[in-house]
Structure 1
Amino acid sequence: MIEIIKAELSILRCFKMKPNYSELARKYGVSRQTISKYNNGFEKKQTRDKKSKLDKYKEEIKEKINLAGATITGVYKYFYSRDNAIGSRSNFDYYVRKHKLITKNKSTVHPRYETKPGEQLQFDFKEDITMVSKNGEIFEFNIFTTTLGHSRMHKFTYSKSKTKEDVFRCLIESFKYYGGAAQRLLTDNMSSIVNVKTKKFTEEFRQFSKDFNFTPEKCNVRSPQTKGKVESANRFISRLIPYNGEFETEEELIQIINKLSDDVNNEINQTTGVRPIMLLKKEKEYLSPVPNKEIIESYLNYMKPSTVHNDSMIYYKGKRYSVPHKFVNKTLKIRELDNKLYIYNNIDLIRIHPLTEKKINYHEDDYKNIMNEKLSFRDDEDIEAFAMRNLEILDNLKG
């Protein structure tokens, strides 16, 4: 439009005709002052393309933000944790829009309802998450999410499987994290704690609810919005996506998840307008205390899955314990009882290790068999001597 106005003014000047500002203003839908300004040679200054501190991350932002399930919030948090000089969230949003790094539709909003302090806790599994470490190791896991209805306080718990024992463990961790249990616990038809035929909670879970003094409830069928607060918590898990390929070990991955819990609980909730960590101070007064240690231990003392690594060992509480090398890369079950570690292949007991402070705990037979595989060209006496010497060295390695 401006270029057309300038062109007509130029033609009028060529013919030495005085422009009619009012007529041109009506013709082009602008003010007389605008016509006068451009007739007197006004030129709009060209804006300088100022460099952004985000420019060096532009391609990486584009890559991370277009990962399936990623959100702008999650990607911003990821880059801010690496470099807090990138500026505010609003600046980040503007940069993403300006450079057209992503196009997303608005999420569907579910209706919410409020609960009194200590009245309700919602829980669910965020299932089948796959992430890859810097070294290319694939981690497949689930995240158990719990949310207190009043304060919106969240707890995210790493879990390799989704058994009833995992549900017990994760809920106990949540109760300890919050400082107690809510009056009612709401979930969906979770197969590990709901009978498939009757659609009712199993006797084991009902007993668990009695021991921890809460009433179990299920959300309405095909109505996930009735547990919308925990569904909202699940969306926060999308913040994990930018860390794909950015961690090295399982321990580091768990630390990232724990930090995510802390970050979410220290952010102002859009519905309440208050940080969950602040509202928890009030809600905690209405939570039922956890039962005694004996009851808690009775639910935690079960067989847990554990993968056998290439050194023919499993990890338990920061220490390594051996099994026969034929189980390498297989998943076995472990159980702690009376200061000993019991290792099972299905229901077959294959090893018992005393729990020690040693970093590496090889069973003598396991180590000798590994050496036989590796040193098959040596005679048995040499292998025996070599194995015993190495075992003595390993015994001196403390945790």
Structure 2
Amino acid sequence: MITQQEFIMIHELKKQGYSIRAIARITGKDRKTISRHLKNDQLAVIKRTNNKQSKLADFEGFIIERVAQSKARIPSIVILKEIRELGYTGKLRILQDFLKREYDKRLKDDPVVRFETAPGYQAQVDWTTVRNGKSPIHAFVMTMGYSRTSFVIFTNNMAEDTLIKCHDQAFNYFGGVPQTILYDNMKTVVDVRDAYGEGKHKFNSQFHNYAKDTGFVIKLCQPYRAKTKGKVERFNQYLKSNFYRPLVSKLNCGGIIEITIELLNSYINAWLNEANNRIHGTTNKRPVDLLQEELSALNQYVVKVLPQQLPLAKSTLNIELLPKVALVPIQQPSLNNYDRLVV
């Protein structure tokens, strides 16, 4: 075997008048090797193929069938135990690589499709963490599926009692309760998926009772399909990039002002007012106008918290928000890019 550089050198030395013996002496190659390569204009590339069969090959059909049987991802260690009983002697890593390719293939074959809901039928809820560490800050976000109107409030925890209080604030903000609310598999909402059969979940008892008393039905995303609630997910991204980070950068210049949940909540309403009053790129209408169409379809909300506890809407029939507490002047980024993120 010779390299491309050696091949070029052999031909160059030959052009310069060196004999095969001299070229062999200079390059350290056998004379027969030199002679053979001088007969060719290009270096022949030898393709090596690995014909060795993977230890997993005999079990791939079984694994593919097992993966297709379950909507959720099956832990690799579970499948490893099953195929070990069938005679597999290979390593876990081989199985994990194969499973990754199979699940990636399933995601490509299962594209995310945007779906629209009737007025008042659905809202989507999510937590997003804007700061980790010893003093974390989380944002509770609820987005109405029809109008895309969104509500945000910042907290220092995601406990069950806090989750319920955040819902109360959101319902007070929107002026009613949607018929259904879509969640991912947060522990404060669901204890065990499919506990009583497919689609029959064991919900957190306190939150389930709250949902029944308040008048909405809990809906869950499929496992590993959080994009089902893509409207609120995309709003989370925008909230961080166009509200939280610019605000923190401005207020925390020089490290003088401490960023707290109270401070963030004092600014969020003005920003929401702008977001909910823009022309939305998908609906071509203002979310606040579409929310007026939803009001008649919302279930009545019995006020359990006072609007004065946190700055919210002035009334359930008027979504004009209270002015922000202008602690420090700040120029917020434009919302022109919002419609590319929120669907």
Q: TM-score w.r.t. structure 2 length?
A: 0.49
Which one has the bigger strand percentage? 1
Q: Which has the higher contact order (CA 8 A, sep 6+)?
A: 2
